[in-house]
Structure 1
Amino acid sequence: MDKKQIVDTLNKLVEGQYMGIHAYENFIENLDSSSSLLSHFIEIRKDLEQHAELLSKRVQVLDETPKSSEGIIGKIELFISQLFDSSTSEQDILKHAIKGQNLYGIKMTEELVSNKLDEESLCLVHEILQKQREHVDYLKYELHSRTSSQ
């Protein structure tokens, strides 16, 4: 396994975690301060921060420098999504969070890491993916409970 490929893949995952952190910061800003979702979204953001830190430490163990932001492409994508996803209803925020976690958090990660990581890095990524799946399950439950109560 090529060390450069492993580090490049891990750094792309770090950038993805920063994209998620910033997306959740945006969600948090758009939630009403009395929303029952607020504390859960703050917790998910903290998990993403921890994931970025764990991935960064793994890059450092491989004697390389980890990324420290979502990168220029991530900034552009985040800016565009903020232009078009400015809804502040809890249901819309939940839908955007589910889409982001599923598409960017899970599916893209699975595609990105395919045959590109060493065993230790892959174990770390699987732990992160498991946590992200738990987040999606929670978000779907919350969306369903809000939709069915109307």
Structure 2
Amino acid sequence: MIQEHHKRDDVFGLSRDIPLNYVTREYADKKFLTNLRSQKHVVLYGGSKQGKTCLRKHCLAPDQYILVQCVNGLDSAGLNASILKRAGFEITQSQTKTAAGKNKVTAAFKAKLLDIGIELGGEKGTETQVSVVTAPLELDL
């Protein structure tokens, strides 16, 4: 049997990666993934060093979530604004719509004693341009 040797800091301590001592908790991981499939928001919360980041990194790829750090004093409006900003939400600052075109109507009436004829013609052309100016959502911290 070959034993693997690891440095203490690879197993214990702070790391941005999932630590080598991470233990898959079948119940917690399964419940987390089940709740994600429910198409509702999932909030991981708890005290420091409880495994929130490891659970997220173990179960999800970086492009599958939006990470928002909640700090003291953050109200629900601030939280929603943070989520929208992280999701790339943009605010429409202005929208301009211009229309240009031409209208031409021609009409002729011909009358003869036994034969009555009518000629009608028309032409219409319209060009529409829409210009939208957007900006990323800005947060006033």
TM-score (norm 2): 0.26
Q: Which has the larger radius of gyration?
A: 2
Name whichever structure is richer in helix by fraction: 1
TM-score (norm 1): 0.25
